[in-house]
Chains A and B, each alone.
Chain A
Amino acid sequence: MTASTIGQNPSSFRLQSLRVLETLALLLIIAFIMLPIIWLALTSIKPREKAYSTEIVFQPTLDNFRVIFADYTVIMNEGTDRERGELGRDMFPSVVNSVVVSGATILIAIPLATLAAYAFSRYSFFGNGVLLVWILTTQFIPAIVVAIPFFTLFRTLEVFGSPLLGTRLGLIIVNMSIVLPYAIWMIKGFVDALPGEIEEAAFVDGCNDFQILFFISLPLIRPGVLVASVFAFIMSWNEFLFALIIGREMRTMQVALMTTRGALGIMWELMAAAGLVVMVPIFFLALFIRKNVVDGLTMGAVK
């Protein structure tokens, strides 16, 4: 069919059909991105009888959340979990673990990264450039190589009288290997963008290096430090391999997801509920640093 048979100006017809195609493509992209997320959200509020079907009409319930946070009465009343030989899973300690590990990781990593990033940006010292690139390449080390020696080390290394394996402290230590390099690069980007004249003026006025750093520069790069903190928090929150190998029974939420496996396979309604607990807080954080995620992940290589 040609455009003239419609009786329209051919160029405007082509333009309109292009626009329709573009809208369709956009809707397809939105569906591609959002479907898994929406489906998890729907499943998490489905009653158990409906969770194992593709039905989308159901009476929403918060029972699944009650079960993963071990409100036993719900299970007792239903009786269904008993039939499966399962009781509620107390995931609350795992939420605490995730928050403590990710929180402590950034509390240690971000101040150190900020100082280092400032030095890399503002001082030229021997090995400056090489060190920066080397820090970047540490991110290409497979996590399993880091995990193996720390696993054997932490089996015997004792802190406060007990081995570090299976402790939050052990997990925080290995998390440094992934968080610090990204944080240094991200914060360095923000320091680079800061004009140096203010610091020069402070120097002329008689401030020493540390006065300039703490009273002039740091307050100015605070937004950047905040962005890097959020990014580091997300990385550490979503980390799985270390949590599995080093954290072990001290389960973070990522590992706790695996405990939704019951005698008859994974209980998807519980997995979905736990999944929502894992991802929804991160959605807000990710939206907050939306514009900086790419710079963070690529360490500024794609600009």
Chain B
Amino acid sequence: MRKKRWVPWVLVGPALLIIVLTTIYPLLAALYFSFHKYNLRRPAQFAIQIGENGIHIDWNLLSLNNYALAFNDSRFINSLYVTFWFTVISVALSVIIGLFIAVIVQKGGRLHTLTKVLLIFPFAVSPALKGFSWRFMLNEEYGIYDLLIDQLIVAPINALLSIINALPLVEIPLISESIVWLGDKFWALFMLAMSETWGWAPLIALMFVGALGSIDEQIYEAARIDGANRLQIFFRVTLPLLRSVILIVTMLKTIFSLKMFDQVVTMTGGGPVRATQTINYYIHQIGFVRSLDIGYASAMSYILVVVLTVCAALYVSLVLNRD
């Protein structure tokens, strides 16, 4: 072939250099910071000192204190739990709702096509704005979601409950219509995950639409001839065929959920009482808002890096080994 050996390196070089500078440099620097006592309020002393006699390393300045601190910090442990539950709820809802949307819109028809086009819109709404708009709509006094939930979900359930209560059998307490969604520990986290789901389920649906379209129609035909009904076809034919795509999408969404930050700032501010303080949010608070402890913030972010590295390895192996 024509190719000269040095040509690709000239082409790849500049981009590669910038990627290394903007990702490898911070990864190494943050790791280095994490072994130090490094607070922005005080002048920091670093272990590697470049003086007149060359490079000198002061090993006494390096320690694992920041990591020890993290695992004794109840707020950090709390942020691990919050991140875990946020990830579980948002991934499960996004993938299940995404799959549901995909199965519905996948067929032809004018309304189907319109819906398919609309699916791209939540992607265009920035996460920061997403958080603000959900916070507004969940407001207990004038929020449209609050009104709709009360009217369409809570009221019918309560009506049913009062009928049951009218019978002299059991007494079930009615659901309150005045839940302050973002003031309640459980609901705040759940709604945060819902806002994430609103942004991601349509995108995940688009991912599944592509995969569904590539399934051979003859497979469905064969299943129908064998007398399978729609539910059976979905669970016994469609789902197994989508298995690898579902796994990839789930892993990808898990990674994005673990990295989530923007909406916590604009939707809940970590509250109520730290119930929505994810790892990213807590690191940001420690490093840039409250104690300005860069060493500690770096150590915590490295714990997140380790978790994400495991996820990334899983993701890459899923993608590479795909049927």
Which residues of A line the B interface, CB within 8 A?
Answer: 22-23, 25-27, 29-30, 32-37, 39-40, 43, 52-54, 112-113, 115-116, 118-120, 122-123, 125, 128, 131, 133, 135-138, 140-153, 173-174, 176-177, 180-181, 184, 203, 209-210, 213, 234, 237-238, 240-241, 244-245, 254-255, 257-258, 266, 268, 271-272, 275, 278-279, 282-283, 285-287, 290, 293-294, 297-298, 301-303
Contact (Cβ within 8 A) A115 B2: no
Q: Which residues of A contact B203 (CB under 8 A)?
A: 293-294, 297
Of chain A, the residue at the smallest CB distance from B14 is: A112
> CB-CB < 8 A to A37: which residues of B?
121, 125
A-B contact pairs, 11 of them (CB 8 A): A36-B137, A37-B125, A119-B7, A123-B3, A125-B9, A140-B259, A143-B261, A145-B302, A180-B18, A181-B19, A268-B136
Q: How far is the CA of A203 from the CA of B297 in the complex (A)?
A: 54
Residues of chain B lying within 8 A (CB to CB) of residue A123: 3, 7-8, 11
Q: How far is the CA of A209 from the CA of B10 in the complex (A)?
A: 11
Cα A95 to Cα B26 with chains together (Å): 29
Determine how close the nearest CB of chain B comes to the CB of A92; give it in whole angstroms: 18
Residue B15 at the chain A interface, CB threshold 8 Å: yes
Residues in B249-301 with C-beta less than 8 Å from chain A? 249, 252, 255, 258-259, 261-262, 265-266, 280, 283-284, 287-288, 294, 297-298, 301
- B residues less than 8 Å from A39 (CB atoms): 133, 136-137, 144
Q: Choose among A29, A35, A241 the residue with the greatest number of B CB atoms under 10 Å from its CB.
A: A29
B136: nearest residue on chain A (CB-CB)? A268
**A144 CB contact (under 8 Å) in B9, B283, B312:** B283
Which of A30, A145, A150 lies in contact with B301, CB distance below 8 A? Answer: A145
Secondary structure class of chain A's binding surface, majority of residues: helix
Residues of A within 8 A of B112 (CB): 26
> Which listed residue (A40, A54, A137, A146) contacts B26, Cβ 8 A?
A146
Chain B residues contacting A43 (CB-CB under 8 Å) are 136
With A133-B316, A144-B284 given, is the CB distance from A177 to B22 under 8 Å? Answer: yes
User: Does A144 lie within 8 Å of B301, measured CB to CB?
Assistant: yes
Known A39-B144, A142-B305; judge A148-B259 contact (CB<8 A): no
Knowing A26-B115, A52-B142, A142-B259 are in contact, say whether A119-B26 is a contact too (CB < 8 A).
no
CA gap between A209 and B86 in the complex, in Å? 50
Residues of the A chain whose Cβ atoms lie less than 8 Å from the Cβ of B115: 26, 29-30, 33
For residue B311, give the distance in angstroms from its CB to the closest CB of chain A: 7
Given A209-B3, A293-B120, 19 more A-B residue pairs with CB atoms under 8 Å apart are A26-B112, A27-B111, A35-B144, A36-B130, A36-B134, A118-B11, A140-B315, A142-B305, A144-B284, A145-B298, A147-B26, A177-B26, A241-B261, A241-B262, A266-B135, A279-B129, A286-B120, A293-B203, A302-B248
Say yes or no: A286-B121 contact (C-beta < 8 A), given A119-B8, A244-B265.
yes
- Contact A149:B126 (CB < 8 A) given known A115-B11, A118-B11, A143-B261: no
Of chain A, the residue at the smallest CB distance from B281 is: A144
Whole-angstrom distance from the CB of B2 to the nearest CB of chain A?
5
Contacts of A271 in B (CB 8 A): 132, 136
Q: Say whether B12 faces chain A, with CB atoms less than 8 Å apart.
A: yes
Distance to closest chain B CB from A183 (angstroms) = 9
Inter-chain CB contacts under 8 Å: number: 265
B207 touches A142 (CB 8 A): no
Complex contacts, A302 vs chain B, CB 8 Å? 207, 210-211, 245, 248-249
Whether A140 lies near B134 (C-beta < 8 A) is no
Q: Return A276 CB to nearest CB of chain B, in Å.
A: 9
Q: Is the pair A283, B142 in contact by a Cβ cutoff of 8 Å?
A: no
Is the Cβ of A22 less than 8 Å from the Cβ of B304? Answer: no
Point out the residue from A53, A240, A245 that lies within 8 Å of B126, measured CB to CB: A240
Partner of A116, one of B16, B124, B302: B16
Distance A237 CA – B259 CA, assembled complex (angstroms)? 18
Structural contact, A30 and B312, CB atoms closer than 8 A: no
Does B49 sit within 8 A of A, measured CB to CB? no
Q: Cα distance A119–B128 when bound, in Å?
A: 36
Question: Inside 8 A of A266's CB, which chain B residues have their CB?
Answer: 132, 135-136
Q: Which residue of B lies closest to A53 (CB)?
A: B142
By a CB distance below 8 angstroms, the chain A residues around B320 are 133
Residue of B nearest to A184 (CB): B15
Contact of A173 among B2, B4, B22 (CB under 8 A): B22
B99 at the interface (CB under 8 A from A): no
Min C-beta distance of A21 to chain B, whole Å? 10
Cα-based distance from A122 to B304 in the complex (angstroms): 36
Which of A120, A140, A148, A294 is B298 in contact with, Cβ under 8 Å? A148
